[in-house]
Structure 1
């Protein structure tokens, strides 16, 4: 059984139960009203007879009058006046006999009211056939109407369930197509409004958009990685082939091995950076991290590189707490510092600072290097992308890409801007979660 039918049948069962309860309560209320009206009418008759009895002296015993008795039997309300001993005093004979007690009684098909007076009893009675006929009509209408309402509820409930679950079917069909093709380029039609299903379709589309971008980046990353690794592998193979073509002197072999070693070291550094980039895509830890500690650790790691170029690292520290992985954040900050050292002129200074406000925490690295053209900034945050005029410098173009991945994994952003006085300002911005 489909979820639509389970939902519809559950809805119909609850509605049927509510209709049965409502029908039973309305039937009981209507029955009480009809019998209360009948009892009130009998009470009024008895009270009027009691008032008449007080104004009339009825000392003579009741004498039967066949003509009056016949008329009394034809009336819907039968009234009988009894003496204190239970003998009939006035009006026609009772249809139910003498009842020595005051109140309302049900005797067979007769509704009876007995009023106690000073001189005896006054009894009024009437058949409840009309009440029972009205109640029977109501019961038949309820027994006929409840099934019809349930059938209508089943139809309407199924239509509503089908309309409500249609976005879920679309999501399921889309997921099946994506699973078959492996291409998350399609999107679910967004449900109108702002209810739960509309939020579901928007969330699914956002997820598919991010998944599509991730897969696209992974494909580009794989192609670029293969391209970057193919060059050193080709150099190693060519060097080895040339060395093995003919007999060479020990010096030539040593030169070939040294070239293979240098290229292998470059490959090792490249694979290490690729591993760092792969690990950076994992969700960060939920530990409280102070960017002041991150700044100190990153500057200490690259202090030697700065000294080699006779550059200084100027550090300004302020408390800036966020949540994340300390090692990953140190790696991201270290890449920015390393880039500033690499592209900055010898003898210059690199300014590293951190701080926070009520909403975000920031870590800033500023240099006096050549900067980055504004149109080049989006491209340079992708793997293996390098700026113009940097071909003679070391590196594989993974630094900013690695920083971008780490920052995005922490829910933050990387902001790059050229300084008016020259150089580049790179800023890591994180949510102030702690």
Structure 2
């Protein structure tokens, strides 16, 4: 037993399968098929309109000729005269109401042109019009006839007038052939143009795919060749992919740099730790010697911790696409950064002063406080005299400066002061990793600002200039 819903389920699945099949085709094939189907519908509609207009014009002309010939036949039958000559290919028959042929053209003779039903309808006074033969397939003796009842000499007659449709049908067949040929050629041309256009439009996509595949295989410094004189969807895709490649390359560079920096800088304290432990294990040690060894190990471990934290902070800043800005008073920011160094300055007998306004600014205090603290720590560790921290706000920019009264930066050190692990020759024996100023510059760049180091007469000055 067939359930009523089964056919609907079957036919409902068919379009889904067709869509699935269509979706698995290549993009170029789908575009060409879409163009071909659309052009087929358009050409069919255009050809149908042209054919209908031409057929209507030919039928109107044929109808006018037949109507004129039938009227002349009616007048001749009523008058009892010989039928007048009609248009080329015209035929006639004069019948009584029983279907007997009373007069006819030589080409038709007594062959009946009307069926018994049509004869009965005409005898009752109805107008009969009919085409004999078909356009396709081709049939001989194609006619268009019209029959009406006429009174002649007190008797009823049925007058049948006919004209041949040969020229009309031949013209329509020729028109159909020409339309089919023109539509076929147009469809082929449109499909070819659609194919070439789709290939040309998708060629950059294929080029991008090949380049991306090369990148996936490890190709270095790869960029997509995007035309600079265009602004379409494909070129915008290329620019987007290039930006993505830039970020991927920058991320890879940061990763390689982080690994290289970490392996380079961690090697020394780890080697010292290993040497201290080996020396302690080489022979029995006294309590004082073990205590000294543990203090040395503790110092190296703290150095490792500080170095790891600095590297991780630099990596986090380099991989962060934006910072979190929030209103903060520069006075609070400076006070927080300076507070943790007041005791150190006091033990060294150095003056540490700060000057900052209360105007709120939008910055990320999470990063600016430790950056400013690094500058104060550097000034106390490598500079001399009083240390002054100054904050100013001007034209939506926050400028933070730390100045000391020491000897300043060595001239050869200034161009590379913000490089990672860059350290002046006279400070290589002191504590520090050489990452402080690199961290300061990373914070400034994350804010969209700059960092600058210079010698200011009686000391060194480092300035952060960030938008706020």
**TM alignment of 1:370-381, pairs within 5 A:** 379-381=416-418
> Given that residues 295 and 353 in structure 1 are in contact (C-alpha distance below 8 angstroms), is that contact kept between their aligned partners in structure 2?
no
> Given that residues 451 and 462 in structure 2 are in contact (C-alpha distance below 8 angstroms), is that contact kept between their aligned partners in structure 1?
no
2:403 paired residue number? 368
Give TM-score, length-normalised by structure 1.
Answer: 0.72
1:321 paired residue number? 362
> Given that residues 105 and 111 in structure 1 are in contact (C-alpha distance below 8 angstroms), is that contact kept between their aligned partners in structure 2?
yes
Query: Take 1:189 and 1:263, find their aligned partners in 2: how far apart are those partners?
Result: 51
1:290 to 326, 331, 347: 326
> Given that residues 51 and 176 in structure 2 are in contact (C-alpha distance below 8 angstroms), is that contact kept between their aligned partners in structure 1?
no
2:236 paired residue number? 199
**TM alignment of 1:1-400, pairs within 5 A:** 6-41=26-61, 61-65=79-83, 68=84, 71-72=85-86, 75-76=88-89, 109-111=142-144, 126-181=163-218, 184-191=220-227, 193-283=230-320, 289-293=325-329, 296-297=332-333, 299-306=335-342, 308=345, 309-321=350-362, 327-336=366-375, 338-339=377-378, 345-354=384-393, 357=396, 362-369=397-404, 379-387=416-424, 389-400=426-437
Query: Take 1:373 and 1:278, find their aligned partners in 2: how far apart are those partners?
Result: 28
2:16 paired residue number? none
Per-residue CA distance 1:38-63 (angstroms, 9 max, x = gap): 3443566589899999xxx9996233
Query: Kindly tell me: are residues 269 and 30 of structure 1, through their superposed partners in 2, closer, same or farther at Cα, counting changes over 3 Å?
Result: closer
Q: Cα RMSD over matched residues?
A: 4.9
Query: Take 2:331 and 2:132, find their aligned partners in 1: how far apart are those partners?
Result: 99
Per-residue CA distance 1:357-393 (angstroms, 9 max, x = gap): 4xxxx33211334776898667444432234544355
Query: Take 2:58 and 2:399, find their aligned partners in 1: how far apart are those partners?
Result: 92
Give TM-score, length-normalised by structure 2.
Answer: 0.68
Per-residue CA distance 1:389-418 (angstroms, 9 max, x = gap): 4435532122233344455556x2434264
> Given that residues 403 and 461 in structure 2 are in contact (C-alpha distance below 8 angstroms), is that contact kept between their aligned partners in structure 1?
yes
Total equivalences in the alignment: 411
Per-residue CA distance 1:143-185 (angstroms, 9 max, x = gap): 445455444445444443333333333333333333333x532
1:416 aligns with 2:436: no
Query: Take 1:186 and 1:105, find their aligned partners in 2: how far apart are those partners?
Result: 78
Helix, strand or coil for the counterpart of 1:428? strand
Query: Take 1:377 and 1:112, find their aligned partners in 2: how far apart are those partners?
Result: 110
2:97 paired residue number? none
User: Which deviates more, 227-236 or 202-211?
Assistant: 202-211
User: Which deviates more, 278-287 or 201-210?
Assistant: 278-287
Shift of 1:312: 0.9
Query: Take 2:376 and 2:129, find their aligned partners in 1: how far apart are those partners?
Result: 101
Query: Take 1:392 and 1:103, find their aligned partners in 2: how far apart are those partners?
Result: 123
Shift of 1:280: 3.1
